[in-house]
Amino acid sequence: MTVTLTALELAECFRDGAYSPVESAEEALDAIERVDGRINAFCHVDREATLAEARRSEERYRSGAPLGPLDGVPTSIKDIFYTRGVPTLRGSHLLADKPGATDPASWPDDAPVTSAVHEAGCVVIGKTTTPEFAWKGVTDNTLTGITRNPHDPALTPGGSSGGAASAVAAGLGQLALGTDGGGSVRIPAAFCAIVALKPTYGVIPMFPSSPFGTLAHAGPMTRTVSDTAAFMDALLRPDPRDWSAVPARATTPGPGGYLAAATEGTRGDRPLEGLRVAYSPTLGFGRNDADVEREVTRAVGVLSELGAHVDTADPGVTDPVDAFHVLWFAGLAAVLAPHGPDAIERVDPSMREALGRYHDYSAADYLDAVAVRMALGARMADFHQRYDILITPTTPIPAFAAGSDVPPGWHSPDWTSWTPYTYPFNMTQQPALSVPCGMTDAGLPVGLQVVGARFEDRLVVRVGAALEAALGRVVPTPRVHAGGAGGDDR
């Protein structure tokens, strides 16, 4: 059954002739029909178009000319990225209700990452759900409904790339593209027990520019660090439409790139020999559930066995949430502005409430927030003069009830209040990787975050791969899974 294989395992089967891309695509599409009704990870699937892509991939293998190491692998795209001929509605009635919104001719362009997926030969199986305009850390909206966690469908998968994470965890495609403006690939990776990387800003080209500006990154979401690394190698395609993108040659010198870094992390008994690691359980201002801190601390202990020198050390920063809110909600207000003065009445009610709390920022407020961001970046750059890597929990809590922006009875209505370890690194633009590291006593996944200095993305991948290999499988297959191995695929 191909749905249980990793991306690299599946591609090897294609090369050996054990499976074909068409067989794999059919299994993925059948699994979506069978499973997705319970988790609502997909908002668009076109079976005919997917199978046409799979047939082209199969022909390339037959002729001995696959486009790359991921040719033929089932891949989903978050409904934030432009996709030629496919509606990109971003979870919003403001877009979906426009005349011609679902007409394929209305969508003539691919985003850079979408183009890269096609150029790598990946087979697109659908577009995944997002909260409206990807504005919050869970995944629900009034257009497509509530997306759920395959480990427990009563719980949220997180967000805003919740559909992508839920799909990957449930076996509905090996690869997924997400976005991350404040934790949006890492939060759902932690909640769903998958791997996700927020690269250094500019490493993956973005177009159109996000309304959240340089907070927003594109990132791969997969089941293993090696798959994430291989997907990163495929996504590093230059695109002149993103003037702020970093040339690929500046971030992946030498052969192999990210996959080579992941392989290096699993070579020998002490693949992290001499690495300087700081473990900060709370970044100096957070607070964790006891189960989360226990599992992350246990995993950090493994790093010493892998050769790293580990200190418990905070970077000496204060919570930048107020500045983040200025940057974030100024961007969100800009999203709505082109849709007219009544747009606020037609959006997600929780978005409307949040904009009621955070609005009317002045230019001086915005510049003050930028100054906070710059100071935070300088502080972290100085910290990385002493430490190569910073480890934190990805989130301080596990997944909570689906359909709610915050856990029941929570002290704040803001999604940022329960994910304090993710958005700071959007402000600093540093690479950050979430890997599964254990489970709570209630059986929910826990994620560990690996943070590096800007442009040390491959080092982050190397550490994640080493840790993943040493820990082994720490979270069982979800209850809702295409392979049925999780106990329930109905």
**Residue 210 designated active-site:** no
**Residue 304 designated active-site:** no
Beta bridge partners of 449: 392, 434
The structure tokens listed for 114 are 């979408």
Kindly name the residue from 20, 57, 76, 78 that is annotated as catalytic. 78
SS (H, E, C) 273-307: CCCEEEECCCCCCCCCCHHHHHHHHHHHHHHHHCC
Strands 217-222 and 175-180: antiparallel
Quickly list H helices, 321-453: 321-336, 349-357, 363-383, 424-427
**Residue 184 designated active-site:** yes
Give the residue from 161, 197, 194 showing the smallest Cα distance to 76. Answer: 161
3-state secondary structure of 130: coil
Kindly name the residue from 160, 161, 166, 210 that is annotated as catalytic. 160
**Residues 6 or more apart in contact with residue 320 via CB below 8 angstroms:** 372, 373, 376, 423, 424, 427
Q: Are 35 and 489 spatial neighbours (Cβ–Cβ below 8 Å)?
A: yes
Count of other CB atoms within 10 angstroms of residue 223: 22
| CB under 8 A, 24+ apart: contacts of 351-357 | 351/132, 351/133, 351/135, 351/136, 353/413, 354/135, 354/136, 354/329, 354/413, 354/414, 355/329, 357/413, 357/414
Name the DSSP class of 431. Answer: -
Kindly name the residue from 184, 226, 280, 350 that is annotated as catalytic. 184
3-state secondary structure of 60: helix
Quickly list H helices, 40-111: 47-62, 93-96
φ, ψ of residue 462 to 5 degrees: the values are: -60, -45
Supply the residues annotated as catalytic. 78, 160, 184
